[in-house]
C-alpha cells in the first residue's frame, strides 16, 4: 500500500542538469516531465547522455544544481524517497544466484501476478537468474520493476535481447501498468517506443527536445529515421 502522500496524480520533473565529459557538454538544456498515467520515451544516439540523464533523475549520479521534483517538492536523491521510483539500468540489476522467486520477494512483488501474461516463464520461476537466457533475465527484471509498488519506473533499454513476441506482450503490460504509474523508458527500438509512448523526448546535441504530434517526421528531420 502506498503512503498517503502518493494518493492522486503525481508529476515528476527534472531540470538544471548540466553534465560534461572531457570538456564536451553532454547535457546542457534539459527539462523532463513524467506524470502518472503516462509512458514517456527518451530517444537519442549512443553517447548522447540518455543513461546519464536517467541516472541523474534516479539519484545514482550526483550532479550539482540538478533539480528533481515531485509535485514541486524537491526529491534529491530521488531513490531515497520510499515508494517513489525504481530504475533498471542497462546492466543486470539483480545478482544471478537469486532465483526468480527470491528476486521477486526482494522487490516485494507477487511473481505469479507479475508473470500472469507470460506463462512460458513459469517453469523458470524456481531457477536462478544466472541460469536463464539473457533475454529471459531481462524480461523478468523489467516485469518485477513494473509491478513493484512505486509511483514511477525508469527503464534503460528494457527491450534488449527480448524476443519480438515478448516485446509485444511487454508493451501491452506497460500500457496496463501505466494506468497507475508513470513510466520513463529509453530504447533503441524506435518503432516500439513511438508506438507505445504518450510523450517522446529526443536528446540531441545536449538538448532535450520534446517532440510534437508527429514525432516520426521530426525524427526524420533530425536524421534518426530514413
- Nearest to 211, CA basis, from 193, 188, 187: 193
Rounded CA separation 181/194 (Å): 19
How many of the other CB atoms lie within 10 Å of CB of 117?
A: 13
List domains and CATH numbers for the chain. Answer: 10-221 (3.40.50.300)
**Under 8 Å between Cβ of 178 and 37:** yes
Rounded CA separation 45/106 (Å): 34
Determine the pLDDT at residue 24: 83
- Grid cell, residue 201, equals 523526448
CA 135 remoteness from chain centre:
17
Determine the pLDDT at residue 5: 64
Going 74 to 79 to 83 to 88, the CA torsion angle's sign is positive
Kindly give the confidence (pLDDT) of every residue in the chain, 226 residues in length, as a single tens digit, with 9 standing for 90 and above.
344 467 789 999 999 999 988 888 889 879 999 999 999 999 999 989 999 999 999 999 999 889 999 999 999 999 999 999 999 999 999 999 999 999 999 999 999 999 999 999 999 999 999 999 999 999 999 999 999 999 999 999 999 999 999 999 999 999 999 999 999 999 999 999 999 999 999 999 889 999 998 999 999 998 888 7
Strand ranges (E), 18-137:
19-21, 24-27, 31-35, 39-43, 67-70, 73-74, 85-88
Strand ranges (E), the chain:
11-15, 19-21, 24-27, 31-35, 39-43, 67-70, 73-74, 85-88, 152-156, 182-186, 199-204, 207-210
Radius of gyration of the chain from Cα atoms? 17
Determine the pLDDT at residue 4: 41
Amino acid at each position: 500500500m502506498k503512503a498517503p502522500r502518493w494518493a492522486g496524480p503525481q508529476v515528476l520533473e527534472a531540470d538544471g542538469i548540466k553534465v560534461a565529459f572531457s570538456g564536451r557538454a553532454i547535457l546542457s538544456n534539459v527539462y523532463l516531465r513524467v506524470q502518472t498515467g503516462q509512458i514517456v520515451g527518451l530517444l537519442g544516439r549512443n553517447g548522447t547522455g540518455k543513461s546519464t540523464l536517467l541516472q541523474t533523475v534516479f539519484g545514482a549520479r550526483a550532479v550539482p544544481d540538478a533539480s528533481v521534483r515531485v509535485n514541486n517538492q524537491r526529491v534529491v536523491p530521488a531513490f531515497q524517497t520510499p515508494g517513489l521510483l525504481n530504475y533498471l539500468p542497462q546492466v543486470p540489476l539483480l545478482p544471478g544466484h537469486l532465483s526468480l522467486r527470491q528476486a521477486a520477494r526482494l522487490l516485494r512483488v507477487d511473481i505469479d501476478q507479475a508473470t500472469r501474461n507470460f506463462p512460458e516463464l513459469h517453469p523458470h520461476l524456481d531457477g536462478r537468474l544466472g541460469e536463464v537466457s539473457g533475454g529471459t533475465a531481462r524480461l523478468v527484471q523489467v516485469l518485477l520493476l513494473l509491478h513493484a509498488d512505486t509511483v514511477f519506473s525508469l527503464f534503460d533499454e528494457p527491450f534488449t535481447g527480448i524476443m519480438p513476441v515478448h516485446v509485444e506482450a511487454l508493451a501491452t503490460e506497460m500500457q496496463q501498468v501505466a494506468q497507475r504509474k508513470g513510466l520513463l523508458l529509453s530504447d533503441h527500438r524506435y518503432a516500439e517506443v513511438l508506438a507505445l509512448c504518450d510523450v517522446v523526448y529526443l536528446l540531441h546535441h545536449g538538448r532535450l527536445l520534446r517532440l510534437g504530434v508527429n514525432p516520426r517526421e521530426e525524427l526524420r528531420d533530425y536524421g534518426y529515421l530514413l
